[in-house]
A and B are shown apart, each in its own frame.
Chain A
Amino acid sequence: MASGVGLALFYGRIGSWQGCFLTGVALRGRNFGNPKSYILGTPKYLVMASEQLEEYLESILDIEEREGIAKTSAIARCMKVAPASVTEALQTLSDKGLISYQPYKGATLTDSGREMARKVKRRHRLLEVFLRDVLQIRDDNVHHEACKMEHTLTDETEYALCKMLRAPARCPHGSLIEPCDRQVESCAECLNNPSLAAAFPHRHEHLIPVTAMEPGQKARIAFIRGDAGVVQRLTDLGLTFSTEIQMVRKAPLSGPVEIGVRRTRLAIDHTIADHIFVAALGETS
């Protein structure tokens, strides 16, 4: 899924560094890569571009979700680069505390790495929706365009984009878009007043859509994606903020999911369930 578009940026300049969501992640002063490369006349270091770094994190997230651990070879395949380059990049990411890397085994994201990867993924998918639905860009170009744009987005633009697109649930390729990273209970809060979003504190717990819950798993409703109508409908059914729910079973072929809530069972359409995000209980992820 993730691409190797960052390849062209692998060596060289420091990207248009926004820093807004990578607070605390210092990029400067790391020894990395090809010593022949020079940046701004400094012969000593190569600095890994933020775009590049984010591309790696996205790839690792994809592979990790599929296979549990991201092997160097898998990352190389995914990003269409030489395994040797991957090893170097992983070392850098590991130094920055974004992944934990064990040579010969592979990489897994740390909490901060995962948070960053998800943020970029969310922007990528929002941009894809924007490019296809608003700008009507051809489907096969959407991904590459989004790959280039995703690294330069600010929080403000991201929230405005999400609001304009009315908080889409899925990207054009059908992947679920991550929920917003602010502690809002529903999109209704933001859709009425988008400047408010930035005023909310960052969300620290990781949210998953109800559809990603495993049978038997318990969780607490943390965020509902959608406008006031969706929220009202779910509230009337007792699916209010911070209510505890338990996954009973999922019907095959994206059929409805069956959950236990308030000592009754509800079957919920798959698409609606995608809009309900929960924080898993008794688990730290």
Chain B
Amino acid sequence: MHGRHGPGGHGRHHAGEREYVVALAGNANVGKSATFNQLTGIEQETGNWPGKTVERAEGILQYRGHRLRIIDLPGIYSISALSTEEQISREFIAHDHPDLVVNIVDASALERNLFFTLQLTELESPMILAVNQMDLASQKGITVDTKKLSSLLGIPVVPLIAIQGKGITDLSDVIIRAVRDRPKPHRIEYGREVEERIRRITECVPPGFNGYPARWTAIKLLEGDTETTWAARTRAPEAAALAAASAAELEKMHGESAGTILSGERYHTAERMVEEVVSIHPSEGSEYSLTDRIDRVALHPVLGYLLLILTIGGLLVWTFIIGAAISEIMLDGLSRIAPVEPLIDGADSDIIFNGAWTGFVAALTLIIPYVIPFYLFLALIEDSGFLTRFSLMLDRGMHKMGLHGKAIIPLVLGFGCTVPACLSCRIIESPKQKLLAAFLVTLIPCSARTIVILGVVAAFVNIWWALALYLFDFVLIVILGRIAFRVVPGESVGMIMEIPDYHVPHLPSVATQTWQRTKSLFWIVLPSYIVGSIVITALYALGYLEPVNAALAPITVVLLGLPITTGIVFVFGIIRKEMTLLALAALTGTTVFSTIMTPVQLIVFALVTMLYVPCVSTIAALAHEFGWKNALIITALEAVLAIACGAVVFRLLSLVM
């Protein structure tokens, strides 16, 4: 019945039945992930977009005999029309032609959300609107006339309370109907002066240009959108020239750039729509009472910082005491099943089995006690709204490094895994600050590096030296941040960030987010540990390691004062930092590192591991986001830095210890 795809539709067939693709789009903090979880339940898959390595959730909704693939597009954080998330969303909608776009908006912030909705309608994709958080809105005395909104926009509008699951059945019904009816939103017209120019440019745009609707292209050309203009300059020169001339005319008439005029008109339209559909009855309680009461503490000049220190302190205590203890217990239990001791000689099968088992245990003892609790905690403070407040409180301090409060989010993520942290630097608008933040993120001790510090220094020297290494790293980050701020060209701009209301974390969303973040780590860590562990022992057995060690000896032995075997250990560490532990154990045949290195050597070893280069996945992520040149500069810089710090610390500590 639905065998024929709609125009441009490319739904996949699944078991002989048409599978529809439905994309969820909307601003951040509107309950998008809660809606996603309600729609898809537990049946979820992750995937990467072609060409873009972005965390993206994908799930399946089986409903009334239909199979729907639900895709959760990234939340629009920065609201700016020029943000990366917006670009990603629009590319997906234009190029992947989902059968339906479900735009989720926050009922209590309709005006701001409709600004994005109006931009979405310009993509002329089949679309419906879900007005979420109706309950919170009515607590604030806001009611939304969804019927009227529907007639204004020309598409179905569904009221929703996603967190409680209210309206999900209605939403599913409307989705099922809409994937067949393909409701297209009304064309929302701009003012006459603007509209006239858009019409004339549209006529010059060749059909199917770049895969976007002609009118959309015309609007983007008028706004001076870099990507569209660049493409049009060669392939639609007439439209590009006309758009440039029209933009200049508008600028002359109004004194503002065409982009500003269009944005202003969109807000104006959103304002008018809100006036028509929203009625406000001031409720008895004050509007932001709960949020206000919490903010009085969380943003208090003294209490706020105290809360921040307690939070960070709590995380450190967890890592160094509770996490370490759980890790110990797990290791004990697992070594009863089979010894976690790498073999260097013996039967080939034994070497391979032991290597694989050691790798498996190492991965489990990393992920369960350290990574999962950290990501869980992070998801909690993120979902409840506390993370945004921390960003606010630390804004001033971040200015010293040319960054602003928003950079706290990638930096904090960096304690888990550097790769997603680097990607999350996208929430920062200015290219310079994005690069600065990513550079500093690579220096943050991620869970892998924490493991090395714990496994080498805390275990065999003492915990205070481990903390001192952490502290040294933070000081280094601040110093390098200040230097990089001066050296890196470009502009540092201040932060503008939306402050969401607090709410009780939605546990399924928190669980999903934790799992999404952990899962990617699982797929990378587990195999790379097992394979890496096998490869190391095999290479050693074959005698390939000696030349590498010899080549690196001037650095490892002469400069850093470490045993010669560490040369190859550092090479393996580039794959993943905690591989240094595995490699060291495999090569020396012991996990009691104090028998092979002095305390000073242990500290220097951990310090160098912490700093020397980002791991391979991080280098790839940096190259993807900032180009190979920047990725290699950062890598080389950190290698030199690590050797320099290591050499100095070795000589200083040798004097006192």
Contacts and interface: CB of A to CB of B under 8 A. Distances in A.
Interface of A: 184-186, 188-190, 192-193, 196, 228, 231-238, 240-241, 243, 249, 251-256, 258, 262-272
Nearest to A262: B111
B299 A249 contact: yes
Contacts of B276: none
A202 to B, nearest CB: 17
B256 A236 contact: no
A231 B499 contact: no
Contacts of A189: 254-256
A188 B260 contact: yes
B251 interface: yes
B255 A184 contact: yes
Interface in B369-415: 388, 391-393, 395-396, 404-405
Contacts of B500: 265
Nearest to B106: A264
Contacts of A251: 299, 301, 392-393, 395-396
Interface of B: 79-82, 108-112, 115, 142, 251-252, 254-257, 259-260, 263-264, 267-268, 295, 299, 301, 388, 391-393, 395-396, 404-405, 429, 493-500
Contacts of B81: 236
A237 B497 CA distance: 9
Nearest to A191: B255
A264 to B, nearest CB: 4
Nearest to B404: A269
B401 to A, nearest CB: 15
Given A186-B256, A238-B111, A255 B392 contact: yes
A84 B48 CA distance: 80
B485 to A, nearest CB: 15
Contacts of B109: 262-264
A267 B396 contact: no
Given A263-B112, A264-B498, A267-B499, A240 B395 contact: no
B395 A255 contact: yes
28 contacts: A192-B252, A192-B255, A231-B260, A232-B257, A232-B259, A233-B496, A235-B260, A236-B81, A237-B496, A238-B115, A240-B267, A241-B264, A251-B299, A251-B392, A253-B396, A255-B395, A256-B497, A262-B109, A262-B111, A263-B109, A263-B110, A264-B112, A267-B395, A267-B405, A267-B497, A269-B493, A269-B496, A272-B496
Contacts of B257: 188, 228, 231-232
A232 B258 CA distance: 9
Contacts, number: 129
B497 to A, nearest CB: 5
Contacts of B299: 249, 251, 258
Contacts of A271: 494
A268 B496 CA distance: 5
A236 B80 contact: yes
A69 B257 CA distance: 43
A265 B501 CA distance: 9
Contact of B499 (A185, A258, A263): A258
B594 to A, nearest CB: 47
A185 B255 contact: yes
B528 to A, nearest CB: 40
A269 B82 CA distance: 19
Contacts of A268: 494-496
B278 to A, nearest CB: 9
A184 B256 CA distance: 11
Nearest to A230: B493
Which among A190, A232, A241, A255 has the greatest number of chain B C-beta atoms within 10 A?
Answer: A232
A249 B297 CA distance: 13
Given A188-B255, A263-B112, A266-B499, 10 more contacts: A233-B429, A235-B259, A237-B80, A238-B115, A251-B392, A253-B396, A266-B497, A267-B498, A269-B395, A269-B494
A193 B142 CA distance: 44
B301 A252 contact: yes
A238 B118 CA distance: 13
A101 B183 CA distance: 70
A134 to B, nearest CB: 21
Contacts of B142: 263
A19 B521 CA distance: 73
A272 B263 contact: no
A263 B256 CA distance: 26
Given A233-B496, A240-B263, A266-B499, A185 B115 contact: no
B449 to A, nearest CB: 31
B255 A263 contact: no
A256 B395 contact: yes
A251 B394 CA distance: 10
B392 A256 contact: yes
Contacts of A267: 388, 391-392, 395, 405, 495-499
B217 to A, nearest CB: 20
Nearest to A227: B257
A271 B388 CA distance: 19
Contacts of A236: 79-82, 263
A83 to B, nearest CB: 40
